[in-house]
Structure 1
Amino acid sequence: MKKMTGTAIPLSALRTKNSLGCGEYLDLIQFADFCKETNLQIIQLLPINDTGTSSSPYNALTAFALHPLYISIKKLPETKNNDMVKKELTRLQKKHNEKKRFDYTILRADKLSLLHKIFTEQNELIEKDLNLTKFIESNKNWLPSYCVYMVLKEKNKEASWKEWKTNRVVTKTTISKRWENKKLKSKHLFFAWIQLRAHEQLLKATKYIKKQGLSLKGDIPILMNEDSVDAWAFPQYFNTTLRAGSPADGMNPEGQNWGFPTYNWENLAKDKYSWWINRLKQAELYYDIYRIDHVLGFFRIWSIPEGDCSALNGWPQPFKGISRDELHAMGYNDDRIRWLSKPHVPTNAIESVNNNDYLATHGELRKIMDRIGNEELWLFNDTIKCDQDIWDREDIPLPIRQKLVEFWRNRMLVQPAKDTFYPQWTFKNSTAWESLSWEEKQSFENLVNKNAYEQEGMWANQAKTLLGVLNKNTKMIACAEDLGSMPDCVPQTLQELGILGLRVIRWNRKWNIEGQPYFNFDEYPELSVATTSVHDSSTLRLWWISEPDAKDFYYQFPPSQITGLQYDASKIRPGIYNPETAKYLLTAIAQAKSAFCIHPLQDFLALVETYSDANPKDECVNVPGSVTDFNWTYRLPIKIEDLITDKQLCNAIKNICNCHR
């Protein structure tokens, strides 16, 4: 595979003389000129689907529709010689363009408001547009349902469809009837028109990118928001009683619950994966390469019962379970199986957080629990299906609820189905585990290990089927996000399917070897993408000056031993970042055998002093675990047109690109 170097940037981060508030589809044309000038061959974007009120590009309310935020209103055919629009654009550019980061909520509202005004003013002409008619016909598998959904969303003040008083449950027929309702035609066509113009502008930009000999890389998140047109219109494709996440690890002792429904792969298979194939075909209109976010989800998805806040009571899907009969054969009767799989709450544990009041504690526990005979031991009753049910009982004092939630998560086995069990990920921390004999622990661990081995085969087979379908139905080059602790079957399967993995330099270490050395760059697989940073991490500069593992990199790869470009090694040392440091690091990484080296543009901009923010944290795109207006609103500190004229920067990037050949 041909070696190429590229850069990753959120589309919204681009800044040009024409853009309004954030980057727009047509700004990719100027950005392609910059990349051509610097020998960058790949432009990688974050997802660009409509996310509604959420600023996160991974929180899309549609798998198909493009985000209206990125439309260049100035370049719409309807705005030509339109004084009203010209005046409004001038006002909005003054309001938004000089901001360091953009205000997603206000900017989205302003742009949608102006688009509504334009559509209302030229409604009759737009409705007669044959291009719009053709566009609707060629996208009938998703566009009508999207338009119907968006009109209902507006009517319900953008509340989740699960909160709507009507139209929560729909069918293909009911959606078609609303779409064909003449009274709603204009409202529906507004959203269809927006999609047509977004498509035209993005297509124009992508054609220009290809004409320049560059490749555009898109990002396709595996999961969909439950508050999405897809989960609303095609509920058969989703397990709405389960939520996707990840199991507990050192960084996240309770695991992660992302809140997205998991897929019903059986129903998708019955429809020959048409929804996924259509999704790929849509992406292929624009992209040459695509990133599969959370590729592990195609092998197995960590599934959490709806309503549970943590991920502790989840299980992988598919999984190799333990049957009730197997547990019987191991010597566990039904009472002991209940002990292993259901939380048992002793009275004194709750009494200790309730003023040591025995009678009052009994009164509180009876609200949601059943006592086991005359024992001072309690089981949750049928009103409690998840830990959120416990939190919602505000008639119970908070300290008691907190303690009860701890017990809710304290179990050795979870029960995904009737008479089918799975070891809780942290089962060795459970009270039930501690009660087992040494022999019982050994026997149980042997079974868990045996099942884990068989389970990996199940995961590999599922991934080969699902990813195989994707591979067969697109010409785009597939790149997987395979970060974190991966089952052994993942790299092997990706290799077999010809899918590139991801190698983030700072995390690509031999974790099981003493000293945890970094992989040497000649050890990187050819089928991989090497990168300095990702949108959820610190930038290269922030890593170097604030994170201790940067020193390990410096001592393992001394500046004096990196060949390719000349730089002043005396200026390079841990904790201090300057253009020489940036040149050293990017030159070192360019030695990777990886087919692609794709780095965030912020890491390239640090090759010259001019563009480094006084606060390196302000160059981050997203801070995981936080929900703030800061996230996903990064903008470049300079217009693209001005970057192109910076010969020092362009030459510095060009030299890095030339090292990766």
Structure 2
Amino acid sequence: FFRIWRMPMTATQGILGYFYPAIPVVMDEFEARGIYFNEDRYCKPFINDQILWDYFGEEREIIHNHFMNNHFDGTYTFKEEFDNQRKLTDYFKANPQGWAEDRLISLAANVLFLKEDVAGEDAVYHPRFNIEKTNSYQYLNDDEKRKLSDLYVDYFFKRQDGLWYQQAMEKLPVILNATDMLICGEDLGLVPESVPQVMDRLGITALKVQRMPSDNIPWYDPKHAGYMNVVTASSHDSSTLRQWWHEDRGLSYQYFQKQLGQYGTAPWDLEPQLAEMIMKQHLYNEAMLAIFPIQEFLATDKELTNPNMDEERINNPAVFPHYWRYRMHLNVGELLNHDDFNQKIAHWVSDSNRI
């Protein structure tokens, strides 16, 4: 309702998308900021000898001979038949090479800006999300880094707010006036300042996913959730709690000690008693609603967890065109027979006044 994330057909990863609508960067702005804009350097994947080594090691020569043009100055570009993610993906469908495919597709995203061709007008440009984490950015000089970083901050955090506020205020009041249902906004990820302003003005509840805080903190503590919030431990687009526990062992250790109040070393797997603590922290607070994927309830009972935790994820937004393949490994009849589990969950719901 504020903006969408749009991907060109040449891309297969969401990282090569940009917000729409958005006020893009035009050529005059590069000049005004003292940025010498080289479209090949900024908009094409930057590849040099060191990057090839980092990505492919001893196989780098085989890779660049087959997929790339060698400019004999220490830099390379993809050959025309492989010069975007879509072409690479189509090639590997016919010629499977699992070890090289992911790395080449990732390398194809090593750009600083995405070019948008506008009919009848000069091309405009959008900074790639997380520009500072690209290998391409690391090979700029300090002056270029500073200027591009300033432009990035302006693009994502300043210039768009008025436009996005206007977009939301044209659409959301119409929806609110058309229904008696409660409206909840999925205000996750990169949240511009206009989002809470509009939601507060219109009385729309916000969504708090613990591991996706809008503030610069490692996780959100549900005890801080005010009434106009929906809290949850995971979403359909995230990994499950059991998967998340393995994604960053350092973060899991901090969470184990600081959020769950435990001592010693965090266990290798998320144990049922720890999953119970997480669920209770989300249930016992001031938020209007607490809603969870069923996988997180099942994680509180060792007998009911799926032996393969990777089968529990619902969606991975980075996988195009879709990922939605979750199927519960139990059936409803089996769940009905687990009286202890059902009574435990029922008690949590009633005791936390969430009936």
**TM-score interval w.r.t. the shorter chain?**
0.5 to 0.7
Provide the rounded CA distance (Å) in 1 between the counterparts of 2:84 and 2:315.
25
Matches within 5 A, 1:420-439: 420-429=124-133, 433-434=137-138, 436-439=140-143
Name the residue aligned to 1:512.
216
Q: C-alpha separation between the residues in 2 aligned to 1:511 and 1:332? A: 31
Partner residue of 1:555?
Answer: 261
Asked whether the equivalents of residues 604 and 653 of structure 1 are also in contact (C-alpha less than 8 Å), the reply is no
Question: Which of 414, 419, 442 lines up with 2:114 in the alignment?
Answer: 414
Find out whether 1:458 has 2:160 as its counterpart: no
Larger Rg, first or second structure (1 or 2)? 1
| C-alpha displacement of 1:323 | 0.9
Matches of residues 500-539 of structure 1 in structure 2 within 5 Å? 500-504=205-209, 506-507=210-211, 512=216, 519=221, 521=223, 523-534=224-235, 537-538=239-240
Q: How does 1:178-189 map to 2 (within 5 A)?
A: none
Q: Residues 385-440 of structure 1: CA distance to partner in whole angstroms, max 9, x if unpaired?
A: 62232454579997998886565333322212242112222433556645644334
Count of residues in Structure 1 that have an aligned counterpart in Structure 2? 327
**Residue 230 of structure 2 aligns to which amino acid in structure 1?**
V
- Indicate conservation of the 8 Å contact 1:464/1:497, yes or no: no
In structure 1, how many angstroms separate the alpha carbons of the residues matched to 2:40 and 2:139?
A: 13
Aligned to 2:60, which of 332, 353, 367? 353
Q: CA deviation at 1:318?
A: 1.9
CA distance in 1, matches of 2:39, 2:109: 16
Answer yes or no: is the 8 Å Cα contact 1:539–1:619 preserved in 2. Answer: no
2:175 pairs with one of 470, 473, 497: 470
- Secondary structure at 1:555's aligned position in 2? coil
Letter in 2 for 1:632: R
1:613 maps to 2:313: no
Q: State how far apart, in whole Å, the 2-side matches of 1:376 and 1:324 are.
A: 28
TM-score by length of 2: 0.66
Q: Is 2:323 the partner of 1:638? A: no
Give the secondary structure class of the aligned counterpart of 1:529. strand
In 2, the alpha carbon distance for the partners of 1:634 and 1:491 equals 39
User: What is the 5 A alignment of 1:174-573?
Assistant: 298-331=1-34, 336-343=38-45, 353-354=60-61, 361=65, 386-390=84-88, 392=90, 408-417=108-117, 418-429=122-133, 433-434=137-138, 436-452=140-156, 453-504=158-209, 506-507=210-211, 512=216, 519=221, 521=223, 523-534=224-235, 537-538=239-240, 548=253, 549-555=255-261
Q: Which residue of 1 aligns with 2:353?
A: 660
What whole-Å deviation, never above 9, does each CA across 1:80-137 have from its counterpart, x for those lacking one? xxxxxxxxxxxxxxxxxxxxxxxxxxxxxxxxxxxxxxxxxxxxxxxxxxxxxxxxxx
Q: How does 1:48-63 map to 2 (within 5 A)?
A: none
Aligned residues of 1:423 and 1:448 also touching (Cα < 8 A): yes
CA contact (8 A) 1:309 1:387 kept: yes
Superposition RMSD on alpha carbons, in Å?
5.1
Contact 2:5 2:19 in 1 (8 A): yes
Give the conservation status (yes or no) of the 8 Å contact 1:524–1:592.
yes
Is residue 190–residue 214 contact of structure 2 (8 Å, CA) maintained in 1? no
Name the CA shift for 1:635/1:330 in 2 (closer, same or farther; >3 Å).
same
Name the amino acid aligned to 1:313. L
Pairing 1:120-135 to 2, within 5 Å after superposition: none
Alignment of structure 1 residues 50-129 onto 2, 5 Å: none
Taking every aligned residue pair, what percent have the same amino acid on both sides? 21
Residues in 1 aligned to 2:348 and 2:95: alpha-carbon distance in whole angstroms: 66
Deviations 1:604-640, CA, capped at 9 Å, x for gaps? 6889x7x942756679753555999982234445368
Q: Where does structure 1 lack aligned partners over 5 or more consecutive residues?
A: 1-297, 559-573
Pick from 306, 313, 326 the counterpart of residue 622 of structure 1: 313
Identify the residue that residue 289 of structure 2 maps to in structure 1: 596
Deviation at 1:488, TM superposition (A): 3.6
Letter in structure 2 aligned against 1:450: D
Structure 1 pair 314–587 and aligned structure 2 pair: CA distance change class (3 A): closer
1:539 and 1:620 in contact (8 A); partners too: no
1:533–1:636 CA distance, 2 compared to 1 (3 A) = farther
Contact persistence 1:510–1:517 (CA under 8 A): no
Distance across 1 between alignment mates of 2:133 and 2:175: 40
Determine the C-alpha separation between the residues in 1 that align with 2:145 and 2:235. 41
For 1:434 and 1:595, locate their aligned partners in 2 and report how far apart those are by CA, in whole Å.
45
Task: String of CA shifts for 1:576-602, please: whole Å, max 9, x gaps.
Answer: 546x984x6665544311112334566
Letter in 1 for 2:328: T
Kept after mapping to 2: 8 A contact 1:345/1:377? yes
The one of the two structures with greater contact order (alpha-carbon pairs below 8 A, sep at least 6) is 1
> Is residue 230–residue 290 contact of structure 2 (8 Å, CA) maintained in 1?
yes
Q: Partners of 1:648 and 1:332 in 2: how far apart?
A: 61
Q: Does structure 1 retain, via aligned residues, the 8 Å contact 2:229–2:289?
A: yes
Cα distance in structure 2, aligned partners of 1:379 and 1:655 = 58
Q: Distance in 1 between matches of 2:100 and 2:235?
A: 41
Would the aligned equivalents of 2:295 and 2:312 in 1 still touch at CA under 8 Å? no
Give unpaired runs (5+ residues) of structure 2.
264-268
Q: Give CA-to-partner distance per residue, 1:11-61, whole Å, 9 cap, x none.
A: xxxxxxxxxxxxxxxxxxxxxxxxxxxxxxxxxxxxxxxxxxxxxxxxxxx
Cα–Cα, structure 1 residues 596 and 320, in superposed 2: closer, same or farther, change >3 Å?
A: same
